[in-house]
Amino acid sequence: MKRLQDRIAIITGGANGIGKATAQRFLEEGAKVAIWDIDETKGREAATAWQGQGFETKFYKVDTTKLESTQEAAASVQEDFGRIDILVNNAGITRDSSMKKMSPQHWQQVIDVNLTGVWNCTKAVAPYMSEQQYGRILNASSVVALYGNFGQANYVAAKAGLIGMTKVWAREYGRKGITVNAVAPGFIRTEMVDTIPADYLKSLEERTPMQRMGDPVDIANAYLFLASEEAGFITGTCLSVDGGLVL
């Protein structure tokens, strides 16, 4: 049997990058996937392509910064699929600049999506998991939450906050049969890193014991493991998937 056979998964930011790779892996392992994204064009394109391959998936346009939007979407997924087993809080943005140059707007935008958005999605979905006494909640942190990074005070604050929330929720929801874990990716080849200068990316590869950047599927496989029955006694942890960068 496939590892996520007939499980119902919500993946935020599922139209691009790591979220899209995670949706692909979950579908391959038997899950039915609800894609939550603000990008309607790419979200519908991805869902249509997967449906054409025989997978069961549906796109929902969701603004994760709005609690009402996530609650409406969660109710729709529950109605459409009958249950919600897995939530991957993957959606995220960057607005990088030094403290001196960072605007209040860029600070707030990153906090709203990367931290408050995760709270909103979990707030909307956790009641369904609690009622059925089963669930997997996975939060996308980052390697920079563990050691900091120049010009990313907003991003680091949000991603470090996610590790703290993960531990709290693991304590709160364990008695409900729900595990809550975080994944801390290193530098992964996605659109988010396209703006990083090539020479800096090269230096990162050289500093990484594995001597390469990660691929989205590397993170997708970590999510797959933590969403599976094999990880049923793992909760409250943050799994670094970074090629050894923080060693």
User: Comparing C-alpha atoms, which of 151, 178, 145 is closest to residue 164?
Assistant: 145
Tell me the torsion sign for CA atoms 176, 111, 63, 32. Answer: negative
Distance CA 170, CA 155 (A): 23
Catalytic residue among 60, 155, 173, 223, which?
155
Closest Cα partner for 184 from 236, 243, 240, 235?
A: 240
Backbone angles phi, psi at 150, to 5 degrees: -60, 135
* Residue 134 appears among annotated catalytic residues: no
Rounded to 5, what percent of the chain is helix, strand, coil? 50, 15, 35
Residues 10 and 94: their CA atoms lie apart, in Å, by 22
Measured at the CA of 238, the angle between CA 114 and CA 226, to 5 degrees, comes to 95
197: exposed, middle or buried (Cβ count in 10 Å: 0-12, 13-18, 19+): exposed
> Could you list the active site residues?
155
